[in-house]
Structure 1
Amino acid sequence: MEQHLEHRLEKLETKLMAAEDLLDELNRTVWRQQQALELQREQLRQLAQQVKTIQPGNPLRPEDEVPPHW
Structure 2
Amino acid sequence: MSRTEATGIRTVLSERLLQFAADRALQTREFERRVAALPADSPARASMGATLSAAKAWEAGLLWVAWRLQPRSRIGA
Q: TM-score, normalised by structure 1?
A: 0.53
Ranges of 4+ aligned residues in structure 1 off by more than 4 Å: none
- Report matched runs for 1:49-68 at 5 Å: 49-56=33-40
Per the TM alignment, residue 52 of structure 1 is displaced from its structure 2 partner at its CA by 1.0
Q: Write out per-residue CA displacement over residues 22-54 of structure 1, whole angstroms, 9 at most, x where no aligned residue.
A: 100100000000001101110110000000112
Q: Distance in 2 between matches of 1:52 and 1:22?
A: 44
For 1:55 and 1:21, the matched residues in 2 are separated by: 53
Structure 2: any 5+ residue segments left out of the alignment?
42-77
Task: Look up the match of 2:26.
Answer: 42
More relative contact order, 1 or 2 (CA 8 Å, 6+ apart): 2
Partners of 1:23 and 1:46 in 2: CA distance: 35
